[in-house]
Amino acid sequence: MQLDHYLSQAHRVCVLTGAGVSAESGIPTFRDAQSGFWASFDPAELATPEAFRRDPQRVWSWYAMRRRMARSVEPNAAHRALAALEPRYDAFTLVTQNVDDLHGRAGSRNVLEIHGNILRARCAGGCVTVHRDDGSDLAAAVFAADQPAAADTSTAGRQSDAAGESHTAGAPDAAGEAVPTCPECGDYFRPDVVWFGETLPPELIDQAFTAAADCDLFLLIGTSAEVYPAAGLPHAALERGAKVVEINPDPTAFSTRATLCIREPAAAYLSRFLEQRGS
């Protein structure tokens, strides 16, 4: 396979993934004209700090729905292939814009979640961050509306809430969910993700740019490469002499500069790749 050549020559690999890498697990992308989240919703009403200030319940409910969706699907062959590749290289950095935790669940270790993680929430006032599964009383209170993991069996695209109601993927919970408040300061909890106009965690984006500049192979998988600063990473790699291989069924903002474009869905392509390598 075309990718084999580049992988066999490489020593230091950096990967940037986006929503497309989780599409074959059943999670919608953002910008697909028909099925993407932004086809039904205005990002300005759901993914900005202003939106949260205006209507915290709407934003919290939308993320609660997406959190349940993320927990109800499984990592796919693309996630698994990236986890399998990691130990084979001197350096392997997986930078993801995804907040769905699927790379971690597939076994990847060196993952930089530069847009956050939907399973965490933090006090909007800055007091505390809490992970849904940390076993604390605070986590139980903040994520009270989540289904127990054992009940997370709905197929992607249809979700059932604790009361047994079902919701179409992408629709904020019609009933809405109370936004939990911080026991320290009383401010709202918000999802621990990066919204438009917010800065990315500086140490993570610094590590990501260092890995991009230091790699000899950069893989750009399942991202439209439109959102900055993440979209600057393949440019940084190319400028330092790395090969950049894109895996995406459709052209992206970076395609014309890529060394190689593999025009296939990532999981379908990488599952064949895993089979041929016998891993």
Instruction: Give the residue from 55, 44, 20, 29 showing the smallest Cα distance to 197.
Output: 44
CA-CA distance, 230 to 115, in Å (whole number)?
9
Catalytic residue among 5, 11, 79, 115: 115
Stretch that binds ligand BJW, among 138-146, 181-189, 222-230, 235-243 (CB under 6 A): 222-230
Which one of ligand BJW, Zn ion, none is in contact with 28 (Cβ closer than 5 to 8 A by kind)?
none
Strands (E), the chain: 12-17, 91-96, 111-113, 116-123, 129-131, 158-160, 166-168, 189-193, 217-221, 243-247, 260-262
Nearest distance in Å: CB 164, ligand BJW: 26
Residue with tokens 């260092």: 210
What part of residues 23-52 is at the interface with ligand BJW (CB under 6 A)? 23-24, 29-31, 36, 47
Name residues whose C-beta falls within 8 Å of residue 3's C-beta, 6 or more positions apart in sequence. 245, 247, 260, 262, 273
Identify which range of 22-30, 40-48, 116-124, 262-270 contacts Zn ion by CB under 5 A: 116-124
Of 274, 257, 183, nearest to 218 by C-alpha is: 257
Residues near Zn ion (CB under 5 A), total = 7
Query: Is 115 assigned a catalytic role?
Result: yes
Of 75-83, 125-133, 166-174, 269-277, which part binds Zn ion (CB under 5 A)? 125-133
Counting Cβ atoms within 10 Å, is residue 34 exposed (0-12), middle (13-18) or buried (19+)?
Answer: exposed
Residue 127, contacted partner among Zn ion, ligand BJW, none, CB below 5-8 A by kind: Zn ion
Q: In this complex, which beta carbon is closest to ligand BJW, that of residue 10 or of residue 16?
A: 16
Quote the radius of gyration of the chain (alpha carbons, Å).
Answer: 19
Residue 123's binding partner among Zn ion, ligand BJW, none (Cβ under 5 to 8 angstroms by kind) is: Zn ion
Displacement of CA 8 from its chain's centroid (Å) = 27
Q: Which is nearer to ligand BJW, 126 or 183 (CB)?
A: 126
180-209: which residues touch ligand BJW (CB under 6 A)? 193-199
Integer Cα distance of 243 and 217 in angstroms: 5
101 is a site residue for ligand BJW (CB under 6 A): no
Please tell me the distance from the alpha carbon of residue 51 to that of residue 106, in angstroms, as a whole number.
32
Using CB under 5 A, list all residues that contact Zn ion: 123, 125, 127, 182, 184-185, 187
Using CB under 6 A, list all residues that contact ligand BJW: 18-20, 23-24, 29-31, 36, 47, 97, 99, 115, 193-199, 222-224, 226-229, 247-250, 252, 265-266
